[in-house]
Each structure stands twice: as C-alpha cells, then as structure tokens.
C-alpha cells in the first residue's frame, strides 16, 4: 500500500537560513507524483511544489526545491532563506496511482510543523 512518512513532528529554523523537511514514500507503482503543501494556522492547504516520478530534474519553485532521490524513495523539501511567514505545517503527499476510477487521490503524511525564529 502507498504510504508517506514524515518523521519530524517539529522543526525550528533561524530566519534567512535554509531548512530541509524530510519525506519518504512507499509505492510499488513506477508512475507517481509527489507534492508538498503548506498549511498555515488558517487551515488552507497551499500547493508548493510537484515532482513526477519520471522527471529527470529536481523540481524548484522560487525558494522551494524538492530533493528527489528515487532509489531511496525520499522527496525532501528544501526552503532557502526562511522567512517568518514560512511558519506553518508542511505536508508531503503522493498521488495514489492505483485505486478505483483513476482519481489520483492524494495520500498525505502526518506533517511537520516549522517555526521560523527571528
């Protein structure tokens, strides 16, 4: 069964420094997608970055980059130059390639709470 594991319940980072949030996944399907979302205390789940399993390059979106190591089944999120507004819960998710109806439903990890210190 597909599974996402985030082993860091909470992380602290100093403002302007970089931080890496860990994510490992488990799937037997060769085609899958990996996502990172940010959830502030307001509750909205904000899409940050996407990596497809066949993508040759690591995905980047502004200050966000995804360190994709396929053999290790890891998809860590790197946030560079942290800002106070980055304080939030971060979720790693995988698109479930199987299941009925090709929903592409997302399977989420437990999340990591990031706090940026001034």
Residue numbers at the binding site for other proteins (CB under 8 A): 4, 33, 35, 37, 42-47, 50, 91, 93, 95-96, 99-111
Please tell me the distance from the alpha carbon of residue 74 to that of residue 94, in angstroms, as a whole number.
Answer: 11
Smallest gap from residue 16 Cβ to other proteins (A): 29
Contacts of 77 (CB under 8 A, 6+ apart): 20, 21, 23, 36, 48, 49, 64, 65, 66, 67, 90, 92
Smallest gap from residue 17 Cβ to other proteins (A): 26
Cα radius of gyration rounded to whole Å, the chain: 14
Smallest gap from residue 46 Cβ to other proteins (A): 7
Q: Which is nearer to other proteins, 15 or 52 (CB)?
A: 52
Q: Which is nearer to other proteins, 37 or 68 (CB)?
A: 37
Contacts of 14 (CB under 8 A, 6+ apart): 82, 116, 117
Q: Which is nearer to other proteins, 39 or 74 (CB)?
A: 39
């Amino acid at each position: 069964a597909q599974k996402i594991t985030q082993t860091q319940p909470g992380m602290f980072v100093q403002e302007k420094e970089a931080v890496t949030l860990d994510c490992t996944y488990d799937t037997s399907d060769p085609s899958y997608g990996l996502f990172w979302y940010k959830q502030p205390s307001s509750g909205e789940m904000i899409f940050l970055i996407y990596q497809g399993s066949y993508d040759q390059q690591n995905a980047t979106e502004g200050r966000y980059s995804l360190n994709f190591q396929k053999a290790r089944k890891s998809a860590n999120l790197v946030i560079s130059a942290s800002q106070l507004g980055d304080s939030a819960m971060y979720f790693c998710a995988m698109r479930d390639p199987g299941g009925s109806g090709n929903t592409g439903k997302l399977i989420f990890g437990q999340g990591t709470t990031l706090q940026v210190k001034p």
